[in-house]
Amino acid sequence: QLQLVESGGGSVQAGGSLRLSCAASGYMYSSYCMGWFRQAPGTEREGVAAISTGSLKTYYADSVKARFSISRDDAKNTLYLQLNSLKPEDTATYYCAAGTWSICGGRWYDKRQYNSWGQGTQVTVSS
């Protein structure tokens, strides 16, 4: 398993941008499917985006497609999520997660598929 630490959250106005980072430590980070999830109070944790090994493929929830961009730097063991054109409904705690490579291309959006999680970083978007 990996140890994951998110950073980069904050408070922005609608239409603004943020860049989240997730620093990973552990063995063979590059071999994991990596994902971002978010959870607003009183709601289920939902998949936002995922990226395959080697950055070959990316996956997005329909609600964030064309606004968010996931990337990874395997040399730095770091995962990123660029959030653009933010909306109040994007307000949530954002979590990064790691799982076996085969998750990507399958049920990447299913939180039960991932076995390593960060502690989360809060994103608040005001109107």
pLDDT of residue 54: 93
Residue recorded with tokens 């009183």:
42
Q: In sequence order, what are the residues at sequence separation of 6 or more whose Cβ sits closer than 8 angstroms to the Cβ of residue 22?
A: 4, 5, 6, 7, 34, 36, 78, 79, 80, 81, 96, 118
Per-residue pLDDT of the chain (127 residues; tens, 9 = 90+): 899 999 999 999 999 999 999 999 988 999 999 999 999 999 999 999 999 999 999 999 999 999 999 999 999 999 999 999 999 999 999 999 999 999 998 999 999 999 999 999 999 999 9
- Cα–Cα nearest to 101, from 65, 74, 121: 74
pLDDT of residue 105: 85
pLDDT of residue 102: 93
- H/E element, 51: strand 46-51
Asked whether 115 and 2 are in contact (CB, 8 A), the reply is no
- Indicate the DSSP class of residue 32: S
pLDDT of residue 24: 97
pLDDT of residue 1: 85
